[in-house]
């Protein structure tokens, strides 16, 4: 849920390759850079003032003064343009215009993250401007001597911010211009940073960024920025020209002190915000480091004290983590001969201790809550040894290659995956003295220690050579390896117009197989560099330094459809010649974008769904290439660019497939491939608009398109606690299930946050159904504060008006649950607790909260509504589940003792007595009441059960079980050689005493039977895609089996045991029908003939007590006599409607429930915590409207 922006930045970080500094010595990276040396000097107060005041950014801050005109990547490219004010239309003088290889929204954060990578001082050059210019008196600017390419352009000034993200073409001919860049007014954030004694915090670092409550919104408008400055001699600072938006946060940090934060800052155009931030004293942390295998290299002996270990502190709070590099440097300490260490200047709050030692995997010690001026002892913690590899890097001729960067993953990600939400392991590379090695003059290196189990990935990189990953297995490869790097080859060819056979003279070639020759070159691990631009008279091109093997080129040119040439074979040291690229003229679409009053809209991004999808495919392909490079063993995960189109476009990820409307609202999109397109229009102040689909002919033109943008739908309301008191500072995220529809363009994700009176508002939403997630953060923004306050809801948003949806946070003001977790009387050190309940009064019917265990086994949930919970302990050797009853009290101490009961057994073939592999075994507490919430009813069976998939021996085991009554269910394999052969077993009741080990449980699976039949309508026509649900008539808790009819209406329901069943058939547009007493037996079973009637079409109208329509309510009809399983079928249908955007009432309070048979029903309507039921009788046919007042 933090995803869009975080995913962008993390992905950009992953794309950044390593580049060793030019002064690197053999076997190490260069010494610490000037920034690190400055930080070391800043530990002395007097030196701090002098050095920090010498920073050029100090004093009355000027955006333009902070940027020196110049060129970083030189070439023959030129570009001219003008910066214009959208409000006045006049040119704006004195602005800095910058070209970047990356989207500007990610620059600040990516710069920070690269500084933590341990990849050398020059790595951050990748996010530096390609070139910088300033505007003259008329707003004009000029770039010359810049590398040719397609670059992102950004504008910075004292009072203006860019209107949109733009890409420009810098060509030797200058034909990419002139360009017009539009800006609008920004606000200013001014303030002062004070020391604990009230004096000015000279040189304090200050950072401004959108807060957690608006980060997603800022990404959606393309205005996410992380901006840094320093306080002057009076402690004053200024952030000029901040994009207008609410929810900014400012963090100030001074070395040796604790950071200060100001949150929920509203920045308005043309206005100033004044802040005062007071720094607080830091604390001290002491402890002792032990080596897991003693202090000898052969690992003999037990854990022993380890000297010379580099130790640092990492905050858990995301707000303090913004200055992680400075905090790690300031708290840096080295363990003494007895393994003890002292860390001073540790910021207050929850921090982790991070340790780094030669021959050891970086280790995270216990976390500690640091108090202002306090001294805290974390005790002993152990770090593990890891394997080390020695080797040599040579070229294909066997010659050694010096200066090759050797990298590896130095940390174990298990703590993050197993419920310990800390970023400490990810920051091991940011510790002082961590250095990835480079090969010496003989090509030799030493790498490691490596975490985890083999194979271990060794990443090898040097400009001019193919980057690669070498998978090292010590048992297979030994401790000494040789790695061969290749220089690649070249490609020559010509680009021609397919229709005229004339050369295409200006074009761009992109490929994921380029070899980097210098930082910022286009390559598979630098996909935003824009490819290589060619301007020729004869259409010829030459690509140097391409990876060997099959190569795919993507060639684009203005006015042409992109041409893809695959399967070009490249050999090392040779040039593949004779490649012919044929370009087809693309179609052109012209039109205008207007608002609902017909007024032309300038600055609107226009693209098509096809262009967005194609750009997404290209970036996913680049990402797949990088995953191959780093050896990602997880199946590729495709980013749904169409599902998050507002983010894709406004962040600049679509590239040149986007144009911007001019002052008259006009646009022209060229080079479009033939076929069906939806033309999309996106602007920050409106809901997305679209036109189409339109069918384009090859090379054809379509004029006169008009796209109207509206304010769209939206949500507003109040967030309250369980006692209806307003809750400020809550984050509300609205997620559309349609975001993963790969054929539909939608925004998919919106965000809002509650103000001082609990009010929230989300604007410019597209119509449809949304899942709402509410979270609350704490002062430090510890991730657990978000996971510990999760609340869920559902709502449908209409097309053109906002919907009121109040949210009650049942956990706020609920029972504070705390205690200690022990195992055999010893506190459990570390791990996470996940609390789930299926007794919630909310619409979805379940609660989910998370927290973390301390080093002494302590835990705390700030608020759990009363009810029965399952506490799941993660992050230790086993996953353990315990049942807990939470009372309706202000607080309750509940100490948890890890149970040691177990159930073990085997699943066999009833006839052959052979073990059955792949059977699904489920164990759940017996006799629990079923839930009433919609989602809870669907997931309760699995949510309350533990499961096991049998192996080759058919065995299963459930351990760490509490005493009690259990039900064991075994379901047949659904894949492999045993698929379809068995029926589910009868449930087995088990009683387990405290810490009892129940062994020898045997379950035999009988051969499966099949129930067949046909489903027709009243006219006798077969119904395709009807759903069949089959369940035992005498045991409704045994679950159900599903099947679907084919085009002839026929069905086969497999894996049934002999018995009497209930069969339910359902199809869209028909009333469901349930048959009882259906007997399935060995031998001949009669086929079923099921006829479905249309029944009545039922619509619900929901009103508030004052007669106004209620939006966002769900409704269902429960037929008299229906059992829980029958009701679950209706819930399943409701959720299918939700994912189709039809699950809740619209702005008029309307909801179509579907078709129902005549009979007696109970109408149940829910919205948030409100539930209303009403008895209704359905008679006859046709349609009926049911009206209900929600109370």
CATH code, domain with 663: 2.60.40
State whether 702 and 760 are in the same domain.
no
Q: What is the CATH number of the domain that holds 441?
A: 2.60.40.1120
Within 10 Å of residue 242's Cβ, how many Cβ atoms?
21
Residue 849 domain-assigned (yes or no): no
The alpha carbon of 722 is separated from its chain's Cα centroid by a whole number of angstroms, namely 30
Q: How many whole angstroms separate alpha carbon 1151 and alpha carbon 1113?
A: 9
State whether 789 and 927 are in the same domain.
no
Residue 1058 domain-assigned (yes or no): yes
Domain coverage including residue 97 = 62-185
What is the reported pLDDT for 636? 37
Residue 840 domain-assigned (yes or no): no
Within 10 Å of residue 1148's Cβ, how many Cβ atoms?
12
Angle at 61 between CA 58 and CA 62, to 5 degrees: 130
Q: Which of 134, 164, 185 is the last residue of a domain?
A: 185
Q: How many whole angstroms separate alpha carbon 150 and alpha carbon 1104?
A: 56
Query: Which of the 8 DSSP states describes residue 438?
Result: B
What is the reported pLDDT for 517? 81
Which pair of tokens denotes residue 679? 């033309």
Angle at 690 between CA 688 and CA 638, to 5 degrees: 70
Q: How many whole angstroms separate alpha carbon 847 and alpha carbon 787?
A: 11
What is the reported pLDDT for 1130? 59
Percent of residues in the chain assigned helix, strand, coil, to nearest 5: 15, 45, 40
What is the reported pLDDT for 1167? 75
Residue with tokens 């929850």: 350
Instruction: Let me know: does 660 contact 667? Beta carbons within 8 Å.
Output: yes
Nearest Cα to Cα of residue 1070 among 1021, 1118, 1031, 1030: 1021
State whether 53 and 198 are in the same domain.
yes
Residue with tokens 């003989």: 442
Burial of 794 (C-beta count, 10 Å sphere; 0-12/13-18/19+): buried
Residue with tokens 């708290």: 331
Q: How many whole angstroms separate alpha carbon 117 and alpha carbon 122?
A: 11
In the sheet where 666-672 sits, what is the strand order?
A: 666-672, 587-595, 701-709
Instruction: Let me know: does 918 contact 955? Beta carbons within 8 Å.
Output: no
State whether 196 and 139 are in the same domain.
no
Segment-wise mean pLDDT, segments of 10 residues, the chain, 1191 residues: 35 30 26 32 36 36 61 92 93 93 81 74 73 95 93 90 90 93 93 95 94 87 88 93 92 93 92 94 94 62 85 89 89 94 93 90 85 91 91 96 91 58 77 86 93 89 90 94 95 95 93 78 61 91 92 92 93 95 95 95 92 73 46 42 80 82 93 92 92 92 95 92 86 83 77 90 88 78 66 80 85 87 85 77 66 82 86 72 88 91 95 93 75 48 68 92 90 85 90 93 93 94 92 72 92 88 90 90 82 92 90 83 63 56 75 90 80 91 92 81
What is the reported pLDDT for 937? 47
Q: How many whole angstroms separate alpha carbon 1126 and alpha carbon 442?
A: 74
Q: Which of 688, 707, 726 is the last residue of a domain?
A: 707
Biggest distance spanned by C-alpha atoms of the chain: 95
State whether 1171 and 1135 are in the same domain.
yes
Residue 855 domain-assigned (yes or no): no
The alpha carbon of 233 is separated from its chain's Cα centroid by a whole number of angstroms, namely 41
Which pair of tokens denotes residue 879? 């996953």
State whether 453 and 417 are in the same domain.
yes
Nearest Cα to Cα of residue 479 among 400, 410, 404, 388: 388
Query: Which of the 8 DSSP states describes residue 118?
Result: -
State whether 642 and 665 are in the same domain.
yes
Q: What are phi and psi of 667, to 5 degrees?
A: -145, 160
Query: What total number of domains does the chain contain?
Result: 10
Q: How many whole angstroms separate alpha carbon 141 and alpha carbon 97?
A: 8
Instruction: Let me know: does 361 contact 411? Beta carbons within 8 Å.
Output: yes
Q: How many whole angstroms separate alpha carbon 571 and alpha carbon 573?
A: 6
State whether 115 and 191 are in the same domain.
no
Residue 825 domain-assigned (yes or no): no
Residue 747 domain-assigned (yes or no): yes
Residue 823 domain-assigned (yes or no): no
State whether 287 and 367 are in the same domain.
yes
Length of the chain: 1191
Residue with tokens 């401790």: 479
Which pair of tokens denotes residue 1014? 């046909």
Residue 1161 domain-assigned (yes or no): yes
Q: How many whole angstroms separate alpha carbon 213 and alpha carbon 777?
A: 9
Q: How many whole angstroms separate alpha carbon 860 and alpha carbon 858?
A: 7
Q: Which of 707, 733, 768 is the last residue of a domain?
A: 707
What is the reported pLDDT for 45? 40
Q: What is the CATH number of the domain that holds 91?
A: 2.60.40.10
State whether 660 and 738 are in the same domain.
no
Which pair of tokens denotes residue 92? 């704006």
Nearest Cα to Cα of residue 522 among 504, 534, 510: 510
Instruction: Let me know: does 480 contact 36? Beta carbons within 8 Å.
Output: no
**Helical spans, DSSP H, in 905-997:** 934-943
DSSP assignments along 579-594, one per residue: EEEEE-BPEEEEEEEE
Burial of 704 (C-beta count, 10 Å sphere; 0-12/13-18/19+): exposed
Question: Which residues are 1063's β-sheet partners?
Answer: 1030, 1075
Which pair of tokens denotes residue 173? 């001919």
State whether 166 and 222 are in the same domain.
no
Within 10 Å of residue 550's Cβ, how many Cβ atoms?
11
State whether 912 and 968 are in the same domain.
yes
Query: Which of the 8 DSSP states describes residue 786?
Result: H
């Amino acid at each position: 849920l933090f995803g869009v922006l975080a995913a962008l930045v993390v992905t950009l970080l992953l794309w950044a390759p390593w580049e060793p500094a030019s002064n690197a010595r053999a076997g190490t990276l260069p010494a610490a850079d000037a920034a690190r040396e400055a930080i070391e000097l800043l530990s002395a107060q007097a030196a701090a003032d002098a050095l920090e005041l010498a920073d050029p950014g100090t004093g009355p801050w000027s955006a333009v003064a902070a940027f020196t005109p110049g060129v970083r990547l030189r070439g023959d490219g030129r570009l001219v343009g003008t910066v214009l004010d959208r409000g006045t239309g006049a040119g704006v003088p004195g602005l800095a215009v910058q070209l970047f290889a990356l989207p500007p929204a990610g620059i600040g954060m990516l710069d920070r993250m690269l500084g933590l990578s341990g990849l050398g001082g020059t790595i951050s050059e990748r996010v530096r401007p390609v070139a910088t210019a300033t505007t003259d008196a008329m707003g004009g600017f000029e770039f010359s001597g810049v590398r040719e390419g397609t670059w992102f352009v950004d504008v910075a000034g004292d009072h203006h911010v860019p209107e949109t993200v733009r890409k420009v073409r810098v060509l030797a001919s200058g034909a990419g211009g002139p360009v017009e860049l539009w800006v609008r007014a920004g606000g200013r954030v001014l303030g002062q940073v004070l020391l604990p004694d009230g004096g000015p915090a000279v040189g304090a670092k200050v950072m401004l960024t959108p807060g957690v409550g608006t980060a997603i919104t800022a990404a959606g408008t393309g205005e996410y920025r992380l901006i840094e400055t320093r306080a002057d001699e009076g402690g004053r600072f200024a952030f000029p020209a901040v994009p207008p938006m609410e929810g900014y946060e400012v963090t100030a940090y001074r070395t040796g002190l604790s950071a200060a934060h100001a949150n929920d800052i509203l920045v308005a155009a043309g206005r100033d915000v004044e802040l005062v931030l007071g720094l607080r004293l830091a604390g001290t942390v002491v402890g002792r480091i032990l080596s897991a295998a003693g202090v000898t290299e052969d690992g003999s002996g037990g854990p022993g004290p380890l000297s010379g270990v580099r130790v640092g502190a990492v905050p858990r709070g995301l707000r303090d983590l913004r200055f992680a590099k400075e905090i790690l440097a300031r708290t840096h300490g080295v363990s003494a001969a007895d393994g003890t260490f002292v860390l001073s200047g540790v910021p207050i709050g929850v921090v982790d201790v991070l340790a780094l030692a030669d021959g050891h995997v970086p280790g995270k010690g216990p976390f500690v809550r640091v108090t202002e001026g306090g001294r805290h002892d974390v005790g002993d913690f152990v770090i593990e040894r890891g394997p080390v590899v020695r080797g040599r890097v040579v070229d294909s001729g066997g010659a050694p290659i010096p200066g090759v960067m050797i990298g590896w993953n130095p940390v174990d990600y298990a703590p993050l995956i197993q419920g310990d939400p800390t970023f400490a392991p990810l920051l091991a590379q940011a510790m002082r003295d961590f250095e990835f090695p480079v090969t010496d003059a003989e090509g030799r290196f030493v790498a490691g220690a490596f975490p985890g189990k083999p194979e271990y990935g060794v990443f090898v990189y040097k400009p001019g050579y193919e980057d690669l990953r070498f998978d090292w297995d010590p048992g297979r490869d030994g401790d000494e390896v040789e790695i061969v790097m290749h220089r690649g080859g070249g490609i020559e060819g010509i680009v021609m117009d397919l229709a005229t056979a004339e050369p295409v003279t200006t074009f761009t070639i992109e490929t994921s197989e380029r070899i980097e020759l210098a930082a910022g070159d286009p390559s598979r691990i630098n996909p935003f560099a824009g490819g290589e631009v060619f301007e020729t008279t004869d259409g010829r091109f030459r690509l140097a330094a391409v990876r060997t093997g099959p190569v795919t080129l993507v060639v684009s040119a203005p006015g042409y459809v992109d041409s893809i040439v695959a399967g070009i074979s490249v050999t090392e040291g040779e040039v593949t010649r004779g490649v012919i690229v044929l370009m087809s003229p693309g179609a052109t679409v012209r039109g205008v974008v207007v608002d609902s009053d017909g007024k032309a809209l300038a600055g609107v991004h226009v693209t098509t769904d096809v262009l967005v999808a194609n750009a997404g495919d290209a970036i996913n392909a680049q990402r797949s290439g990088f995953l191959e490079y780093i050896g990602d063993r997880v199946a590729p995960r495709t980013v749904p660019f169409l599902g998050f189109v507002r983010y894709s476009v406004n962040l600049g990820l679509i590239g040149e497939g986007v144009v911007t409307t001019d002052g008259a609202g006009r646009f022209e999109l060229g080079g479009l491939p033939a076929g069906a397109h939806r033309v999309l229009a996106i602007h920050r102040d409106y809901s997305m608009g679209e036109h189409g689909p339109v069918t384009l002919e090859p090379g054809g033109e379509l004029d006169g398109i008009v796209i109207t943008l509206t304010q769209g739908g939206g949500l507003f309301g109040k967030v309250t606690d369980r006692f209806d008191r307003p809750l400020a500072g809550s984050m509300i995220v609205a997620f559309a299930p349609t975001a993963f529809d790969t054929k539909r363009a939608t925004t998919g994700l919106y965000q809002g946050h509650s103000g001082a009176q609990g009010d929230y508002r989300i604007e410019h939403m597209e119509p449809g159904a949304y899942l709402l997630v509410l979270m609350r953060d704490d002062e430090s923004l510890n991730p657990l504060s978000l996971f510990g306050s999760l609340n869920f809801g559902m709502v449908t948003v209409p097309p053109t008006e906002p919907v009121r949806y109040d949210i009650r946070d049942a956990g706020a003001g609920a029972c504070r649950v705390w205690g200690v977790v022990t195992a055999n009387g010893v506190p459990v050190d570390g791990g996470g607790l996940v609390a789930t309940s299926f007794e919630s009064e909310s619409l979805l019917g379940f609660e989910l909260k998370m927290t973390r265990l301390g080093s002494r086994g302590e835990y705390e949930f700030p608020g759990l509504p009363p009810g029965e919970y399952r506490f799941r302990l993660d992050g230790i050797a086993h996953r353990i589940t315990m049942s807990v009853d939470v009372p309706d009290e202000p607080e309750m101490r509940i100490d948890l003792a890890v149970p040691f009961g177990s159930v073990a057994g085997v699943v066999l073939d009833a006839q052959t007595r052979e073990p059955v592999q792949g059977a699904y075994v489920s164990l759940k507490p017996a006799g629990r009441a079923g839930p009433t919430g919609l989602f809870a009813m669907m997931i309760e069976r699995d949510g309350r059960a533990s499961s096991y998939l049998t192996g080759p021996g058919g065995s299963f085991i459930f351990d760490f079980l509490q005493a009690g009554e259990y039900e064991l269910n075994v379901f047949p394999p659904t894949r492999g050689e045993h698929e379809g052969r068995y029926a589910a077993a009868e449930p087995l009741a088990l009683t387990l005493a405290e810490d009892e080990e129940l062994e020898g449980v045997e379950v035999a699976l009988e051969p499966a039977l099949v129930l067949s039949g046909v489903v027709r309508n009243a006219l006798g026509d077969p119904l395709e895609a009807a759903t069949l649900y089959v369940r035992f008539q005498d045991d409704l808790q045994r679950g159900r089996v599903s099947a679907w009819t084919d085009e002839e209406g026929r069905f086969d329901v497999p894996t049934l045991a002999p018995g009497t069943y209930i069969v339910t058939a359902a199809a869209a547009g028909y009333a469901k029908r349930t048959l009882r007493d259906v007997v399935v037996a060995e031998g001949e079973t009669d086929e079923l003939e099921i006829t479905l009637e249309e029944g009545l079409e039922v619509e619900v109208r929901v009103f508030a007590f004052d007669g106004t329509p209620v939006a966002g309510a769900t409704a269902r009809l429960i037929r008299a006599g229906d059992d829980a399983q029958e009701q679950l079928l209706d819930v399943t249908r409701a959720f299918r409607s939700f994912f189709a955007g039809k699950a809740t009432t619209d702005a008029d309070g309307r909801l179509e429930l579907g078709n129902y048979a005549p009979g007696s029903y109970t109408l149940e309507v829910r919205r948030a915590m409100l539930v209303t039921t009403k008895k209704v009788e359905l008679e006859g046919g046709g349609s009926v409207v049911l009206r209900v007042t929600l109370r």
